[in-house]
């Protein structure tokens, strides 16, 4: 498996401690030592197959906030092959997120110029998913940071307005990554965050 954007080069930032002055900040014991790898699914058929396998689960999660996604989830359950052409696009970067060598989730990054990427933006987080059993362990946050480091530039991320957990997640992950220097506003029928990575 070819791995890119290995977490090894990424400095770990402790959580903000808010008003708990005097309390040692940081993630729960066991999380800080977890290895996060980003696996390029384009060059790994087993990993792109895995994304196809869990995609309906992701769409079903989103359907809680927008029932249209049930239709999409049903379609991908019946015809998982329909993802192939999309995954082979030069401007789409499908990544499997592995935590301690276990596939925990995936991200699909879309690069300009590609339909749906806003003017002036280099990269859009097209899809982002952490499997339920791996959630709330800081894996999504660390994977997002590793992805931003791997693809420096102007970024945008959008969420369904009713997907409050995702909005809270992205505000937290991007807020920590940028030190609060990001734009966050409704944009049409989605909530949108945009920012520039430090290396860009």
Residues that bind ligand COA (CB under 6 A): 15, 58, 61, 128-130, 135-141, 159, 163, 165-166, 168-169, 172-173
Cβ-based neighbours of 79, under 8 Å, separated by 6 or more: none
Chain length of the chain: 200
CA–CA separation, 59 vs 101, rounded Å? 24
Q: How far is the CB of 49 from ligand COA (least distance, A)?
A: 19
Range list of H helices, the chain: 45-63, 68-78, 84-87, 139-150, 164-178
Q: How far is the CB of 50 from ligand COA (least distance, A)?
A: 15
Contact 178, 193 (CB under 8 A): no
> How, if at all, do strands 3-4 and 183-187 pair?
unpaired
CA–CA separation, 179 vs 153, rounded Å? 16
Cβ-based neighbours of 95, under 8 Å, separated by 6 or more: 4, 5, 38, 39, 40, 41, 106, 107, 108, 109, 147
Q: Which is nearer to ligand COA, 77 or 136 (CB)?
A: 136
Q: Which is nearer to ligand COA, 33 or 45 (CB)?
A: 33
DSSP assigned state of 24 = P
Q: Which is nearer to ligand COA, 149 or 163 (CB)?
A: 163
Q: Which is nearer to ligand COA, 47 or 177 (CB)?
A: 177
Q: How far is the CB of 51 from ligand COA (least distance, A)?
A: 13
What does R_g of the chain's alpha carbons equal in angstroms? 17
Q: How far is the CB of 128 from ligand COA (least distance, A)?
A: 5
Q: How far is the CB of 151 from ligand COA (least distance, A)?
A: 17
Q: How far is the CB of 160 from ligand COA (least distance, A)?
A: 7
Q: Which is nearer to ligand COA, 43 or 165 (CB)?
A: 165
Q: Which is nearer to ligand COA, 20 or 45 (CB)?
A: 20
Residue with the shortest CB distance to ligand COA: 140
């Amino acid at each position: 498996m070819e791995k890119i954007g290995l977490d090894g080069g990424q400095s770990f930032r402790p959580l903000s401690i808010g008003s708990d002055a005097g309390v040692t900040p940081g993630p729960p014991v066991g999380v800080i030592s977890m290895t996060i790898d980003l696996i390029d699914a384009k060059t790994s058929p087993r990993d792109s197959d895995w994304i196809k396998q869990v995609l309906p689960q992701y769409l079903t999660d989103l359907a809680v906030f927008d029932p249209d996604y049930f239709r999409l989830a049903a379609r991908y359950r019946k015809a998982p092959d329909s993802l192939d052409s999309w995954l082979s696009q030069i401007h789409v970067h499908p990544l499997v997120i592995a935590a301690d060598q276990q596939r925990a989730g995936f991200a699909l990054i879309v690069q300009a110029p590609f339909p749906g990427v806003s003017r002036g933006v280099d990269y859009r987080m097209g899809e982002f998913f952490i499997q339920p059993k791996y959630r709330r362990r800081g894996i999504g946050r660390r994977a997002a940071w590793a992805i931003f480091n791997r693809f420096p530039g102007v970024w945008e991320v959008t969420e369904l307005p009713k997907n409050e957990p995702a909005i809270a997640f992205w505000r937290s992950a991007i807020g920590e990554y940028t030190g609060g220097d990001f734009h966050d506003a409704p944009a049409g029928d989605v909530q949108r965050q945009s920012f520039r990575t430090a290396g860009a």
